[in-house]
Amino acid sequence: MKTAQEYKDSLRERKIRVYVMGELLESDKVIDHPFIRGHVNSAAMTYALAHNSECADLMTTTSHLTGHKINRFTHVHQSTDDLIKKIQMLRMISQKTGTCYQRCVGFDAMNATYGVTYEIDQAMGTDYHERFKKFLTYIQDNDLMVAGAMTDVKGDRSLRPSQQKDPDMFVHVVEKREDGVIIRGAKAHMTGMVNSHWMLIMPTMGMAENEGEYAISCAIPVDAPGVTHIFGRQTNDGRKFEGSIDQGNANYGIVGGECMTVLDDVFVPWDKVFMCGETKFSGLLVERFACYHRSNYGGCKGGVSDVVIGAAALWADYQGTGKASHIKDKLNEMIHMAETLYACSLAASCMGKATPSGAYFVDRLLANVGKHNVTKLIYDIDRLAQDIGGGIMATMPSEADLKNPEIGKWVEKYLQGVDGVPTEDRMRVGRLLENMTGGTALVESMHGAGSPQAQKVMYSKLSGLEEKKKFAAHIAGVGHSGKE
């Protein structure tokens, strides 16, 4: 298994094309850019903790393919215990970074692809599953970071992929060759892509029979010819060129360093193709991935909320309000909501079941309900944190002001809280709260793993409403459930 430093060193070996603010970066220096450095550090934590004996039970496991000890982020779940440990692991890492560490998307993509390729092979007589197992073994043996790539740019949302004026609005196969396929299109919101080794392409939705060219799943190195990454902006990202205080979370950044990845006629050899035209399985792959990924959020967002709660409590202590009853009430309410998020993710894992491939899959209904809780409760947690923080959290003078030889003495004096707490410490906690409870972080909580409407569609379909009608009809002593 790689160490954190070995992970960083391996990223410098890539010939990756990354644009930031219209500028093409030198490939071996991508990870040094102020916009990207923190995201690399947070992903590196997934490598560092795997070598920490206190974290080994959560961070590592045994490969069912090779019998070797591996990083859990390269594992295929073999039991409900694996699913539970995943959620526990995600919360633990979030508590240490306060942000996204980016390996979850690829982790979930690999688990989804493992199970679905098996089922395609059983139905169609293909050999996708064996191809994928070889690829997965390679990923495990080299402890590589894989970026999951599902979301297409979609163009006109009222039209299906085959109806778009520009067919490139959804990633598709433009040519099949004897040695592989050529694909074209773009993937959006690609978390951790610029500091990964490989990407795993998946269709973004269930495809119709006439949309076989869009039913493509394959693995591509992030620096393959024809691949260009355009790094996205984040709220207050200009502060990353300044000192550490105003960044809030200078070491690890905020959210996951998303980008748009352009695939301009990229060649993929057949041994890295895991679906090509099997339209009736495209929706299954999307659903498997979405449910795996949505089940994560109570773990990672529970851990991030732990940091927000801790920062709010520290801030209250620093300003002398920590013992006030209304502050304690707000903190308790935040704790209740964070544990509610965590509980739903654990429940989705506990209720998981084996798929035909032998890999374990979460409870779909609970996974979707849990993610939908995140789209609401995170906002309430952050609202209460901002309530505790007060207006100064958003209007505080800068680090440059604090260190200015002429006016710094006034910033030091007038931002002082309780005696004995340095003004700089108070400013650091305030900036952490500001950055964690606003802007990009909230957008990701809302739309990561699918917008709220996507979860509503899923849990409406999975809720068993007709069965619930029968329960009520039986108890009420009526002869029908009400369905015509």
Q: Which residues are catalytic?
A: 100, 104, 191, 258, 293, 297, 300, 444
What are all long-range contacts of 371-375, with beta carbons under 8 Å and residues at least 24 apart? Answer: 371/294, 371/295, 371/297, 371/449, 371/450, 371/455, 372/452, 372/455, 372/456, 372/459, 373/298, 373/340, 373/341, 373/344, 374/297, 374/298, 374/301, 374/341, 374/445, 375/445, 375/446, 375/452, 375/455
* Calpha distance 349→391 (Å, rounded): 40
Check residue 255 and report its DSSP letter.
T
How far is residue 135's CA from residue 125's CA, in Å, rounded to a whole number? 19
Question: What's the gap between Cα 63 and its chain centre?
Answer: 23
Cβ–Cβ < 8 Å for 356, 118: yes
Helix (H, G, I), strand (E, B) or coil at 457: helix
Write out the two tokens for 182. 């050529």
Q: Which amino acid is at 241?
A: F
CA distances from 426 to 38, 237, 248, 382 (A): 22, 21, 12, 18
Tell which residue, 370, 307, 382, 314, has the closest CA to residue 344.
370
Dihedral pair phi/psi, residue 172, rounded to 5°: -150, 160
Q: What span, in angstroms and rounded, lies between the C-alpha atoms of 454 and 168?
A: 23
Residue 23 CB-density burial (10 A; 0-12 exposed, 13-18 middle, 19+ buried): exposed
CA distance between the termini of the chain: 59
Give the separation between CA 15 and CA 450, rounded to whole angstroms: 31
Please check whether residue 399 is in contact with residue 434, taking contact to mean a CB–CB distance below 8 angstroms: no
Between CA 105 and CA 443 the distance in angstroms is 17
Q: Please count the helices (runs of H) and the strands (runs of E) in the chain.
A: 16, 14
DSSP-H helix ranges across 351-437: 364-389, 392-395, 399-403, 408-414, 423-436
